[in-house]
Chain A
Amino acid sequence: MSGFQKLNIEADSHAEVTIMGVRKSINILLVDDLNIGDKVMVHAGYAISKIDDEYFYFLKSTLQEMTGDSP
């Protein structure tokens, strides 16, 4: 799960995302039509699915509940 910011537009293969505060370059070849600001599910360094805001914030609050962080 992550916020999404395009970073590397070289060959449109990679982008930079923020995963729970950590910035990371991931491969985006497996998901079509991604734009800056989209949220994606990340698995082993690859975006595997685009997710909507509702699901993103549900996952985020669930993780915060598990780790004890305040929203």
Chain B
Amino acid sequence: MTQEEKRLIGKAVAQINESVKSNIRIMEVCGTHTHQIARFGIRKLLTPKVRLVSGPGCPVCVTDPGYIDALIALLKHENVSVATFGDLLRVRSPSGSLEEQKSLGRKVITVYSPEDILDLAKRSVGQNIVFAAVGFETTAPLYASLIQSRQHAPDKAFRLHVLQLLPR
């Protein structure tokens, strides 16, 4: 950590500690928040009035590196494209990241909505589109709707590689 980073953190922590008048709890929504707070030792610097609570994590930060490895292995096939949300591109695994694979010329496609892969499949004759269907309970109905909409029009060019993490 640089001296400038130390100074900035010290200043921000002092402002937080000064402004907090009663006990509050703050949830770290994403695992990257938890990681950074631990890395910079912020928990110990804060007043005891601030209690940091680790949240459930987000679909991206809890993605198992093995899942990224599997997607990268699929990309080695000439006729396979992997489509997914932009925030999954930088998740690292021992094999690297999807972003790196894209820079190497592999077919990695960023989509905004799961529905985008239907147009993609129509435009990519001869390609198998694998959609990295990550997510929690908010995305599960989207994938179900997508599958239901295709049940009367089977499309062999479209696959879901599902990583769903649902509460038990």
A residues neighboring B (CB under 8 Å): 13, 26-27, 29-30, 43-46, 48
Interface residues of B in 105-158 (CB under 8 A from A): 112-116, 135, 138-139, 141-142, 145, 149
Complex Cα gap A43–B85 (Å) = 12
**Which residues of B lie under 8 Å from residue A45 when comparing CB positions?**
112-116, 142
Complex Cα gap A6–B113 (Å) = 19
* Contact between chains at B145 and A46 (CB < 8 Å): yes
| Shortest Cβ distance from residue A50 to the other chain B in the assembled complex, whole angstroms | 15
Subset of 12 A-B contacts with CB under 8 Å? A27-B113, A27-B115, A29-B149, A30-B141, A30-B145, A43-B142, A45-B114, A45-B116, A46-B113, A46-B141, A46-B142, A48-B138
Interface residues of B in 34-65 (CB under 8 A from A): none
Complex Cα gap A27–B142 (Å) = 9
B residues neighboring A (CB under 8 Å): 85, 112-116, 135, 138-139, 141-142, 145, 149
A27 and B145 contact, Cβ closer than 8 Å, known pairs A43-B139, A48-B138: yes
**Which residues of A lie under 8 Å from residue B112 when comparing CB positions?**
44-45
* Contact between chains at A48 and B141 (CB < 8 Å): yes
Complex Cα gap A26–B139 (Å) = 14
Known: A44-B135, A45-B115, A46-B141. 5 other contacts (CB 8 A): A44-B139, A44-B142, A45-B114, A45-B116, A45-B142
| Shortest Cβ distance from residue B15 to the other chain A in the assembled complex, whole angstroms | 18
Complex Cα gap A44–B141 (Å) = 11
List the B residue with the shortest CB-CB distance to A46.
B142
| Shortest Cβ distance from residue A26 to the other chain B in the assembled complex, whole angstroms | 8
* Contact between chains at B145 and A43 (CB < 8 Å): no
A29 and B85 contact, Cβ closer than 8 Å, known pairs A43-B139, A44-B113, A48-B138: no
**Which residues of B lie under 8 Å from residue A43 when comparing CB positions?**
138-139, 142
**Which residues of B lie under 8 Å from residue A44 when comparing CB positions?**
85, 112-114, 135, 139, 142
**Which residues of B lie under 8 Å from residue A29 when comparing CB positions?**
145, 149
| Shortest Cβ distance from residue B150 to the other chain A in the assembled complex, whole angstroms | 13
